[in-house]
Amino acid sequence: MNFRLRTDAKKWFSEVSGRSPFKTAFDVFYFCLIAGLVSGRHNELGQSENSSYEITDNFTEEFRAQRNLIIGLLILADLRAHGIDVHEKQSVRNTIQSLLDPHTQTGLSDLGVRLMNEYSSGGCDYLAERRAKPFLAEEFLRDFVQLVDSAVTSGPLVGDLAVN
């Protein structure tokens, strides 16, 4: 299972992607993924309006060091999506078991990668609903930090803390 990017996300980012400092398509995937994970937005790929394409089969070099933090955010998002109490050992273990696969290069199971793709798709909608198509990297990056802040402030991450 590979990481997939929404076709319309490619178009939306077309003016900034592939130009410094956005090195690969995984950068675009990551912006969408983080937006999806912090806002809790996710949707399935494959429907005509959500057509997608494979971008890579692994975290790219720029994200290898952050891989485990991103996986951690995915686990948190999935626990939250299924309403699992983080103190329920069996449920937490099952969730981790379903998302991780030590035999893949990403460390994620097929389900884990699929969920990443779904959150990236949701994040793509989240960004496109709140900002015009980006034309300059420097402007988009500053706005992205703001958009993440808004999503965190009004989104489910605050709830994670409350559970604790």
Partner 1 sequence: MKIELRGWSSEGLRCPDVAVDLLAHGEIPPVSLIQMPNGTGKTTTLELLRATLDGGAKQWAPADVRRFQRPHDTSARGSFKVDLLVDERPLTFELILDYTEGQAFYRTTDPATGGVKSGYHPPPQVYPFLRSQFINLFVFDGEFAGRLLDVGKSEAEKAIDALCQLYLLNDVAETADDAWKRAARGGNPRTTTGLAGWERAQTRIATRITQIETAQSQSKGELEGLKLRIEKLKEVIATHMARSTSDNTEYESAQRALADSEKRVEALTGELMQFVRRPDVLHSQIATSLQMLKSNLDSLKLPENTSAQFFQDLLREDTCICGREMNEKARTEITVRSKDYLGAEENGLINAMKTDIDKFIPCTGAFEPDVRLASCIKALGDAVRDRQRATGTVSALRQKRIEQGDDKLLEWQTELQNKTAEIKEIENVLKEISAPADDSEDTEKTFSLALLRKRLAEANRKVSEITETVTIHRQTELLKDIVSEARELARNRIRGIVLTECNNRLNKVLAHDPVQLERIDRSLHLAHQAGASVGQTLAVGYIFLMTVLERGQNKFPLIVDSPAGPLDAGRRRAIGELLPKLTSQFVGLVISVEKLGFVSSLEGSASKVKYLTVFRKTPGTKQWVDALPEKGVAQSNNAAIVEGRDYFNEFDLVEEAHL
Contact letters for partner 1, residues 116-135 (x by CB under 8 A)? --------------------
Pairing verdict, β 52-56 and 3-6: antiparallel
The helix/strand/coil state of 108 is strand
Q: Which amino acid is at 12?
A: W
Residue 84 in contact with partner 1, rule: CB under 8 A: no
Supply 30's token pair: 């990551």
- Of residues 45 and 128, the one with the C-beta less far from partner 1: 45
- Of residues 111 and 160, the one with the C-beta less far from partner 1: 160
As measured in angstroms, the least distance from the Cβ of 138 to partner 1 is: 4
By CB under 8 A, the residues from 89 to 118 that bind partner 1 are: 89-90, 92-93, 96-97, 100, 102-103, 107
Q: Are 59 and 24 in contact (CB under 8 A)?
A: no
Out of 72, 132, 135, 154, name the contact with partner 1 by CB under 8 A: 72
The helix/strand/coil state of 9 is helix
As measured in angstroms, the least distance from the Cβ of 80 to partner 1 is: 10
- Which H/E stretch holds residue 4? strand 3-6
- Of residues 7 and 131, the one with the C-beta less far from partner 1: 7
Residue 71 in contact with partner 1, rule: CB under 8 A: yes
Q: Which residues contact residue 4 at a Cβ distance below 8 angstroms, ignoring those fewer than 6 apart?
A: 45, 52, 53, 54, 55, 117, 120
Residue 44 in contact with partner 1, rule: CB under 8 A: no
